[in-house]
Amino acid sequence: MTQGLRRFNVLTIFPEMIRGALQEGLVAQAFAAGKAELHLINPRDFTHDVHRTIDDRPFGGGDGMVMLVEPLQAALQSLGPQRGKTVYLSPQGTPWTDQMARAWSQQTEPVTLVCGRYGGIDQRLIELEVDEEISLGDYVLSGGELGALVVIDSIVRLLPEVLGNAESTEAESFADGLLECPLFSRPREFQGLPVPEVLLSGHHARIEEFRSDVAWVQTALKRPDLLQSQLTAQAQLLKALPRLTRLSPAELRALGLDPWALENLVAKLKAGLLWNRSEVSES
């Protein structure tokens, strides 16, 4: 296995759902170019009855059906050394993050994603065969396939040479713990909303400073939970806010910023109300 190549095994009773979704876009090109491998395993192929039964009623009663442990285990064990890390997509798992995707994209160990259906899978499979549980968020889907697709997409796009510009992933949301600065293209003005003048200046240092300012303020307004260091964030925001308040009302609106929201943010900073001190590190 060459450096950077990732093998993804997906255990699912709906393999075409996975295959179809990965036939478009950059991720499809990455698989076609051999930068990653996709292998689909249907646990129905490891059943021994004419109906290819994969589920049954839960012991103790209750709604829904439970996926049987035996065909799932047989399917996993059929992968042998190409199985690698076994991951179950579960609401009870560790929340999936950009940082995890970046870490996993640096590894070459195969990943096997187990997609549950119905009411879930027999807990004994988790105890015996699963290395880690991953969750997309605090909600329930009808199956793990969408979760598996999200994990695959978020990893494969970070593999070497998948994106045309290697710097693209370093400037996007969450790459440095901040939301990305809004993006603009032609025309320079649309329905009264202009592209901020600094982005047209050609002054690269000013543009980078501007984008950093907007990223800090957008994150403070929309996702203050991402600002892990209160002291660093406060210092950055106190520099960024005066510069942004010099923009015209139209430029602020084009950025999705409200002058009142900026004033409110300044007031919160001065009063120390932006963070919950019990939850945010002072480092």
pLDDT at 275: 64
Task: Read off the pLDDT of residues 178-196 as tens digits, 9 standing for 90 and up.
Answer: 999 999 999 999 999 999 9
CA angle 258, 181, 266 (to 5 degrees): 40
Using the predicted structure, report yes or no on whether residue 164 has a pLDDT greater than 70: no
- Distance separating alpha carbons of residues 95 and 98, to the nearest angstrom: 10
- Per residue in 218-235, pLDDT (tens digit) is 999 999 888 888 888 999
From 94-98, 152-156, 199-203, 225-229, the region with the lowest mean pLDDT: 225-229
Least confident of 76-80, 267-271, 277-281: 277-281
The domain 6-156 is placed in CATH, from the list 1.10.3480.10, 3.40.1280.10, 3.20.20.70, 3.40.1160.10, at: 3.40.1280.10
What is the reported pLDDT for 268? 87
What's this model's pTM, rounded to 2 decimal places?
A: 0.82
| pLDDT tens by residue, 135-163 | 999 999 999 999 999 999 999 999 988 88
Q: What is 176-271's CATH number?
A: 1.10.1270.20
Matching residue, tokens 């693209």: 168
Q: Is the model more confident about 172 or about 1? A: 172
Query: What pLDDT was estimated at residue 244?
Result: 96
Pairing relation of β-strands 132-135 and 55-56? Answer: unpaired
In the chain, % of residues over pLDDT 90: 80
Domain boundaries, the chain: 6-156, 176-271
The answer to whether residues 238 and 269 touch, using CB atoms and an 8 Å cutoff, is yes
Q: What is the mean pLDDT of residues 70-85?
A: 97
Task: Return the number of other C-beta atoms located less than 10 Å from residue 181's C-beta.
Answer: 22
